[in-house]
Amino acid sequence: MYKFRKSTIEEKQQAVSYGMSGDWIYESGKAGNEEYALFFGKVRTVFGEPDYISEDWENMYGYMITAEDCEDNNKLFFEIYHGSCGSSVAMPRSKDVDSNAYEKAKKQLVELIESAEPVDYEWEGVYEDIPVNIKYIVRNGKVKVESEFPEF
């Protein structure tokens, strides 16, 4: 069993030194903007405001998270972020870390987030690859996604 919290500055530096690699939260093609918007609202419920937030859809937000093992006080490091393929979680991919412990903690972390009620928020940004302006609105657990293609 793990306790999760936002990482300290020192823990963020330690996590980055491991080299992080990400996985999608949702299988490719099994989620869209509504799921991504809800996931961000749920992460905000669990961990508060992100370490960073931007108007770039492919780099929308990020959180460095520390998982503390309740039994032996070991620390594991994760990044929850929205990348080029949507909601994702990164963890160290090194022979120096216990990959089984990381996989177990990652599963618990995602379940914790998914079980939360999303906070109300609005986010507006651009997905440059298409390009399209996107707006996420979450109110009372309901999602509204607005898309607007710029005029050329």
Residue 140: pLDDT band (50, 70, 90) is: very high
Q: Is residue 152 part of a domain?
A: no
Distance CA 6, CA 64 (A): 6
CA neighbours closer than 13 Å in the CB half-sphere of residue 111: 9
Q: Angle at the Cα of 26 (from 25 to 27), degrees rounded to 5?
A: 125
Question: What range does the domain containing 50 cover?
Answer: 2-117
Number of domains in the chain: 1
CA neighbours closer than 13 Å in the CB half-sphere of residue 145: 13
According to the model, what pLDDT value does residue 28 have?
Answer: 59
According to the model, what pLDDT value does residue 111 have?
Answer: 95
Q: Is residue 102 part of a domain?
A: yes
Give me the CATH number covering residue 78.
Answer: 3.30.530
Spatial neighbors of 79 by CB under 8 A, at least 6 apart, are 15, 20, 22, 62, 63, 64, 65, 89, 90, 91
Q: Is residue 144 part of a domain?
A: no
Distance CA 105, CA 97 (A): 13
According to the model, what pLDDT value does residue 73 have?
Answer: 80
- Express each pLDDT in 21-44 by its tens digit: 888 888 756 788 999 999 999 999
Q: Looking at the whole model, is its pTM more than 0.85?
A: yes
Q: Is residue 134 part of a domain?
A: no
Judge whether 1 and 108 are in contact, CB under 8 Å: yes
Q: Is residue 146 part of a domain?
A: no
According to the model, what pLDDT value does residue 150 have?
Answer: 64
Q: Is residue 75 part of a domain?
A: yes
Distance CA 112, CA 101 (A): 16
